């Protein structure tokens, strides 16, 4: 009877090993992937940083198109005592620098390219957040399944250990069988503890990316058994390299560098300086002994590129433009290389999922049942049942690992390999001369 009870317990575990039920909700209604994505887009602080970067670029573009401020002031000449001078001339003036050669337009063009770069970087960050949420979502679901299988296995080996001791007490089992069941029970408990800790860590990581720590205690509505995305190599890699927001940001950076070069070449174009005003001259005229009275002031000048022709600035701008163009090409090649590697990992994991699901696990289940039947007929020792049981569990665990890897790599490819959702967004390029104080218009 006790041997039969042990067999029934083992069979009950094996029939529910691969298609395990989802755990009961921990707190609150289950969260769907769509809900988690919406929460992350609303709460993740890196998206606020990326949005602020766009606003900063727009502000710099607006500032770059403004005219230089005029100068107004007081003017006094020939200020001296005397019966004729009578404390000289006193008046006011206004002075304005007129930027010629389209400097304002070229300067504004630089920062308009920066806006495009900042918007591309914002798209990069949004993809980072969404991709991380998706990957962590399926990672949590996979770990939950692994924990449930281990809980079933722990319950089984505990019962097996109890039955084995009882059988030993009545002389129907050997001492090695008892020791083997004890060792297996402790081993499974350690594995279960590690899996639960991994689940807690995965839930905490998902909550941090979402930006809501309460998510860590909420159940998830989803399954890893749904169809894994089917991707084709060349279309996937081509889409990734051509439509990646990272490449778009690099392209905008190269265009910005080209605009900086155009502005540097025009920097030596002469600027016009205008000055005008009025003054009251108190000096007496010889005829009639009357003061001269109101007089006008008019001055005009133009800068001459005699000593400073911005030779070094032009060379530096051209070098930065070449570097930005090379960076764009480097990024395209790097993405293609990384995509090829990840796609190979995706194909390997996808193939492993199919083989484990359709071939290995069914064979492991059959081997386990055969050993169990022989043990039931007293034709095989219980350690053989434990070995078959452990093999079935290990194959199931490896199946879950392959499923998680297939989801992770597929989502990375669909997310343009953009990185982690809590990684700070890269700032759009901005001239260091504008980092502090008021930015001079047209520069």
- In tens, the pLDDT along 155-207 reads 777 776 776 677 667 665 667 767 777 777 888 889 899 999 999 999 999 99
Whether residue 328 contacts residue 254, with contact meaning beta carbons closer than 8 Å, is answered with yes
CATH of the domain at 148: 1.20.1600.10
pLDDT at 418 over 80: yes
Q: What is the mean pLDDT of residues 322-338?
A: 93
**3-state secondary structure labels for all residues of the chain:** CHHHHHHHHHHHHHHCCCCCCCCCCCCCCCECHHHHHHHHHHHCHHHHHHHHHHHHHHHHHHHHCCCCCCEEEEEEECCCCCCCCCCCEEEEEEEEEECCCCHHHHHHHHHHHHHHHHHHHHHHHHHHHHHHHHHHHHHHHHHHHHHHHHHHHHHHHHHHHHHHHHHHHCCCCCHHHHHHHHHHHHHHHHHHHHHHHHHHHHHHHHHHHHCCHHHHHCCECCCCCCCCCCCCHHHHHHHHHHHCHHHHHHHHHHHHHHHHHHHHHCCCCCCEEEEEEEEEEEEECCCCCCEEEEEEEEEEEECCCCCCCCHHHHHHHHHHHHHHHHHHHHHHHHHHHHHHHHHHHHHHHHHHHHHHHHHHHHHHHHHHHHHHHHHHCCCCCHHHHHHHHHHHHHHHHHHHHHHHHHHHHHHHHHCCCCCCCCCCCCCCCCCHHHCCCCCCCCC
Q: Report residue 5's pLDDT band, with 50, 70 and 90 as the boundaries.
A: very low
Q: Is residue 294 part of a domain?
A: yes
Query: Is 215 part of a structural domain of the chain?
Result: yes
- Judge whether 296 lies within some domain: yes
Q: Which of 377, 334, 386, 374 has its CA nearest to residue 13?
A: 386
CA separation for the pair 308, 302 (Å, rounded) = 14
Q: Is residue 67 part of a domain?
A: yes
CB 36 within 8 A of CB 215: yes
Q: Is residue 439 situated within a structural domain?
A: no
Give the tens place of pLDDT for each residue, 51-110: 999 999 999 999 988 999 999 999 988 887 777 777 888 999 999 999 998 999 999 999
Q: Within a 10 A sphere around the Cβ of 345, how many other Cβ atoms?
A: 17
Residue pair 105/61 in contact (Cβ under 8 Å)? The answer is no
Q: How many structural domains comprise the chain? A: 1
**Owning domain of residue 114:** 2-434
Q: Residue 127 falls within a domain, yes or no?
A: yes
What is the pLDDT, as a whole number, of residue 6? 39
* pLDDT (0 to 100) of residue 24: 46
Spatial contact of 393 and 156, defined as CB atoms under 8 Å apart: no
How far apart CA 50 and CA 427 sit, in angstroms, is 8
Are 160 and 177 in contact, with CB atoms under 8 Å apart? Answer: no
- The percentage of the chain sitting over the pLDDT mark of 70, rounded to a whole number, equals 86
Cα separation of 240 and 200, whole Å?
33
Question: Is pLDDT at 17 greater than 50 in this prediction?
Answer: no
Between 398 and 22, the more confident residue is: 398
Quick one: which of 47, 48, 27, 38 has its CA closest to 215? 27
pLDDT in tens, 205-242: 999 999 999 999 999 998 887 788 899 999 999 998 88
Task: Quote the pLDDT of residue 19.
Answer: 40
Query: Residue 164 has what pLDDT?
Result: 66
Do 130 and 415 meet the contact criterion of CB atoms below 8 Å apart?
A: yes
Asked if residue 236 is part of any domain, the answer here is yes
| pLDDT band of 440, cuts 50, 70, 90 | very low
pTM (predicted TM-score): 0.77
Structural domain includes residue 293? yes
pLDDT of residue 171: 65
Mean pLDDT, range 303-323, rounded to an integer? 91
Pairing assessment for the beta strands 89-98 and 71-77 based on DSSP bridges:
antiparallel
Task: Output the six-digit token pair for 201.
Answer: 């860590």
């Amino acid at each position: 009877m006790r041997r039969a009870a042990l067999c029934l317990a083992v069979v009950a575990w094996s029939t529910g090993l691969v298609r395990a039920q989802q755990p009961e909700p921990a707190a609150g209604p289950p969260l769907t992937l769509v809900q988690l994505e919406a929460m992350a887009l609303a709460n993740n602080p890196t998206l606020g940083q990326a949005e602020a970067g766009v606003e900063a670029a727009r502000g710099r573009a607006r500032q770059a198109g403004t005219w230089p401020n005029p100068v107004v002031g007081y003017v006094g000449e020939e200020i001296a005592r005397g019966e004729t001078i009578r404390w000289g001339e006193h008046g006011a003036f206004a002075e304005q620098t007129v930027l010629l050669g389209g400097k304002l337009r070229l300067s504004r063009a630089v920062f308009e390219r920066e806006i495009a770069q900042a918007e591309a970087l914002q798209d990069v960050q949004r993809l980072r957040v969404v991709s991380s949420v998706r990957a962590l979502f399926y990672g949590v679901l996979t770990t939950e399944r692994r924990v449930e299988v281990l809980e079933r296995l722990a319950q089984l080996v505990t019962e097996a250990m109890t039955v084995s001791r009882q059988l030993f007490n009545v002389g129907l089992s050997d001492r090695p069988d008892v020791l083997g069941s004890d060792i297996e029970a402790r081993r499974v408990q350690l594995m279960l503890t590690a899996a639960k800790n991994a689940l807690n860590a995965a839930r905490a990581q998902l909550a941090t990316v979402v930006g809501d720590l309460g998510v860590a205690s909420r159940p998830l509505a989803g399954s890893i058994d749904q169809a894994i995305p089917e991707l084709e190599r060349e279309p996937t890699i081509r889409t990734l390299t051509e439509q990646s927001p990272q490449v778009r940001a690099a392209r905008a950076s190269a265009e910005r560098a080209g605009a900086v070069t155009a502005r540097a070449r025009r920097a030596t174009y002469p600027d016009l300086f205008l000055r005008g005003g009025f003054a009251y001259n108190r000096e007496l005229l010889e005829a009639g002994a009357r003061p001269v009275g109101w007089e006008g002031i008019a001055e005009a000048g133009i800068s001459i590129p005699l000593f400073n022709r911005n030779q070094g600035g032009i060379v530096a701008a051209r070098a930065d433009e070449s570097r930005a163009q090379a960076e764009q090409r480097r990024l395209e090649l790097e993405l293609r290389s990384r995509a090829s590697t990840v796609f190979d990992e995706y194909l390997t994991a996808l193939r492993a999922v199919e083989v484990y699901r359709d071939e290995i696990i069914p064979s492991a289940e059959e081997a386990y049942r055969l050993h169990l039947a022989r043990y039931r007929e007293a034709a095989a020792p219980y350690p053989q049942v434990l070995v078959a049981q452990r093999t079935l569990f290990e194959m199931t665990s490896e199946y879950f690992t392959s499923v998680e890897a297939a989801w992770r790599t597929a989502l990375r490819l669909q997310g343009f390999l953009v990185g982690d959702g809590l990684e700070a967004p890269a700032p759009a390029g901005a001239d260091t001369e504008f980092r502090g104080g008021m930015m001079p218009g047209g520069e």
